[in-house]
Amino acid sequence: MRRILFIVPIVLFLAVVTYFFVAMRGGYNPSVVPSAMVGKPVPAFDLPGPPSPPNYAGPPVKLGFTNRDMLGRVVVVNFFASWCVPCRVEHPVLMGLGPSANVPVVGIAYKDKGQDAIGFLNEYGNPYVAIALDESGRTGIDFGVYGVPETYVVDKQGIIRLRHVGPLTAESVAREILPVVRALQVQP
Amino acid sequence: MIIELGHFALMLALPLALIQAAVPLWGAHRRHAGMMALADLTALAQFALIALAFATLMNAYVTSDFSVLNVAENSSSAKPLLYKITGLWGNHEGSMLLWVLILTLFGAAVAWFGDNLPPALKARVLSVQAMIGAGFFLFILFTSDPFQRLANPPLDGNGLNPILQDPGLAFHPPMLYLGYVGFSVAFSFAVAALLEGRVDAAWARWVRPWTLAAWCALTVGIAMGSWWAYYTLGWGGWWFWDPVENASFMPWLVGTALLHSAIVVEKRDALKTWTVLLAILAFSLSLVGTFLVRSGVLTSVHAFALDPRRGVFILVLLAVAIGGSLILYAVRAPALQGGGLFAPVSREGALVLNNLLLATGAATVFLGTLYPLFLDAVGGPKLSVGYPFFDRTFVPLMVPLLLAVSVGPFLAWKRGDLRGALQRLWIAFGLAVLVGAIALYVTQGGPILAVGGLMLAAWVGLGAITEWIERTKLNWRRAIHLPRAAHGMTLAHLGLAVTVTGIAGSAWQTERIVVMKPGDNLSIGGYTLHLDRIGQSDTPSYHAERADISVSADGKAVAAMHPEKRTYPLEQMTRGETAIRTTLLADLYLALGDNDGKGGATIRAYWKPLVPWIWIGAVFMALGGVLSLSDRRFRIGVARRRAPAGAAVEPGE
């Protein structure tokens, strides 16, 4: 009986290593995680906005939105949070995404407070045409978010077409996001 | 030509390591003195060779030799000398070379200072150390060669990531590696003990100083990283539960547990198998950390470039090193003879509680870091983690730990008197409650949890002081004769209290985020900020937008502060340079945000009470470790001189 206790560490370790190995084989890329949600409609949500818009020069920003607001055009949905470090890294890329692809980018502040999220956008700039607050993280779970930042491309019918995990880079935008966005934009 | 010399030295170190991995081990088995003694020579020679290899690469960086691929990719001639030097470890290949430099340094130190070790134990320790070394030499030579030449050298290099061009981050990796790699010695000792089938008080006494040294370096390294995040990211946050931060925090937690459990082995000959397991785990987690950062299994800001081939190689290394040692553990550990028995309420019991909480804390962080990926792999439901997860799981675990820190040292070995211990702490308890009451009164409806944190901090600090007063009776002569390890413990526990105070105090920060034009005023935390102007400046490396702000309090000027926003054209990146004015009791923290295009700019101003204490406390902890390290029972040669006096000090082979 006592001996079994001593075998526990190696058994646990083998499980971890097997997982790492499986994860690394087959050209594993952590940022393109297949999601059960790709090909499915956007989960229904109706989220409030932050108390005030970011004080940033530009067109007015919609505060709070629902899944129905996104119908009729291709939309990029970005989950972010003021407490998230990689979000700061991807932010400059996100700032350029909307104008360069002529696509509306909407932001959902994930498990974040309204003031904090706006403070973040005030300092780094606002890439979003609409901002919503997901304070409880409920909508994030419905989307299948497992950490911020995460980015989704949604088509005109409201179907999720692409999921990107982790910070966007100039390269990943050019290689993954833009081709999908352009292809969807020309579809009815 | 010089760089090829370095490459050659690295290639030469590999066969030496292989010899050292095999011959002394065989010698220890056969009790052949010559074969065992060979390890000393090869360990020193390995260090000399790696130091030479390192020096040649350093030379290439300092002289900006862009015919070396690694230099061309990670440096440029316009950088200040400091960042040319630190650019060496700001990339994957160079940092691996630093890794093995420190590894061989520790190996050489064991060979050099280990005269008082039994020869067989020393031979086995060095042999295990060489196995680790050989693995990493192979890794560098086959997948991460920093000595590669370029046929057509460019005129200038690609430059160094601007985030790394910072004095705080420049020395963060070396400290961290000293910690990570330092645990390799504890690991080697653990594996050697399993091979020998014996763990005793003397073994613990040899392991502890190495663990302490590694732990001190890791403490400083983590604190530097956190401090850097604080002043660089422009947000004033100091810990983000980022995967890479967690990767350094897990070995720290397990290393802290190891420090405490090794005391039990040393004093009471108990908890042996557990201590050996902790020694293996501390280094294993360091290896996992190295793997996570370099394999691309997790995404993070700090991560190095992805390369699956490297990931597979490190994974195989990981599997062999950790898997091998854990198999050895499963086979040999049950045979280790358990020592002294103890009641649940006792010094040993308190240390077991400490170990359980720290180990659970490390497991929580491990799960939080990897769980999302595991769930995804088995197609389970999605679960989100981040700040909220760790706040809810890790923090509650630390509360009982902090409560117990004060009580533990008052309990006797074997069987303690909990009621008696608490009676001796009643003044500390009363004062901690008083601190809480004052905090409640002064802050008026602030965050209630922070008041609790402050009380806990006071309890830990006052407990440490009470214990110190009881021991020294405030008598200078008594204090001098007390072992330094005792003073070290007091200092380290005080440091913990100071850090917790800082963490609790940060909850009372106030912030103002406003668009200011030159001439505007802003008041925060008792200060008045006046924006004088927004200007531009240029240096060879970057273009800066800079705000000149004069700070006054009660009508008197106290400081001029200059937050900046820097654009690095070569690297095409922007980063903020915050301005911080500290009184050690509180920080005034300014960051420059976006220009609104109409002559104004966003200014983020924070007043952060007690935040500097977070890092001051970490420095105290590390100093406590250093003080303990200087205790005479660890000092070189002492055990040997005393050896004839008692078999317990050095059991003969």
Is residue A14 within 8 angstroms of chain B, CB to CB?
A: yes
Residue whose token pair is 């009660």: B554
Which residues in chain A (123-182) have CB-CB distances under 8 A to chain B? Answer: 123-125, 137, 140-141, 144-148, 165-167
- The mean-pLDDT minimum among A24-38, B261-275, B473-487 falls in A24-38
- Which pLDDT score, from 0 to 100, does residue B405 have? 92
Domain boundaries, chain B: 1-165, 184-395, 425-508+615-619, 510-610
- Which pLDDT score, from 0 to 100, does residue B218 have? 95
Specify the higher pLDDT residue, B102 or B91: B102
Q: Is the pLDDT of residue B384 over 60?
A: no
Strand pairing category for A105-110 and A75-80: parallel
The encoded tokens of residue B143 equal: 């997948």
The rounded distance, in Å, linking the Cα atoms of A19 and B419 is 49
Q: Is the pLDDT of residue B356 over 50?
A: yes
How does pLDDT run across B402-448, given as a tens digit for each residue? 999 999 899 988 888 888 889 899 999 999 999 999 988 887 767 88
The rounded distance, in Å, linking the Cα atoms of B205 and B166 is 39
The encoded tokens of residue B267 equal: 């004093």
CB contact under 8 A, A20 and B240: no
The rounded distance, in Å, linking the Cα atoms of B298 and A30 is 7
Chain A nearest CA to B598, separation (Å) = 10
Domain boundaries, chain A: 31-186
- Nearest residue to B10 (alpha-carbon basis) of B71, B96, B88, B126: B96
Chain B nearest CA to A156, separation (Å) = 26
Choose the most confident range, by mean pLDDT, from A48-57, A92-101, B139-148, B457-466: B457-466
Phi and psi for B497 in degrees, rounded to 5? -60, -40
Q: What is the ipTM of this complex?
A: 0.75
Is residue B520 within 8 angstroms of chain A, CB to CB?
A: no
Contact B57, B90 (CB under 8 A): no
Find chain B residues with C-beta within 8 A of A92's C-beta: 574
For chain A, the first-to-last Cα distance in angstroms comes to: 67
Is residue B161 within 8 angstroms of chain A, CB to CB?
A: no
Fold classified for A31-186: Glutaredoxin (3.40.30)
The rounded distance, in Å, linking the Cα atoms of B248 and B289 is 7
Q: Is the pLDDT of residue B646 over 60?
A: no
| Cα atoms found within 13 Å of the Cα of residue B319, Cβ hemisphere only | 14
Chain A nearest CA to B301, separation (Å) = 6
- Which pLDDT score, from 0 to 100, does residue B377 have? 53
How does pLDDT run across B537-564, given as a tens digit for each residue? 888 778 888 999 999 998 889 999 999 8
Q: Which CATH number fits domain B510-610: 2.60.98, 1.10.760, 1.10.1740, 1.10.3470?
A: 2.60.98
Which residues in chain B (302-331) have CB-CB distances under 8 A to chain A? Answer: 306, 308, 311-312, 315, 318-319, 322-323, 326-327, 329-330
Q: Is the pLDDT of residue B8 over 80?
A: yes
Enumerate the H helices of B233-307 as residue ranges.
Answer: 243-268, 272-295
For B13-22, give one letter per residue: b (16+ CB within 10 A) or e.
bbebbbbbbe
CA distances from B145 to B67, B70, B91, B124, B335 (A): 14, 9, 12, 30, 43
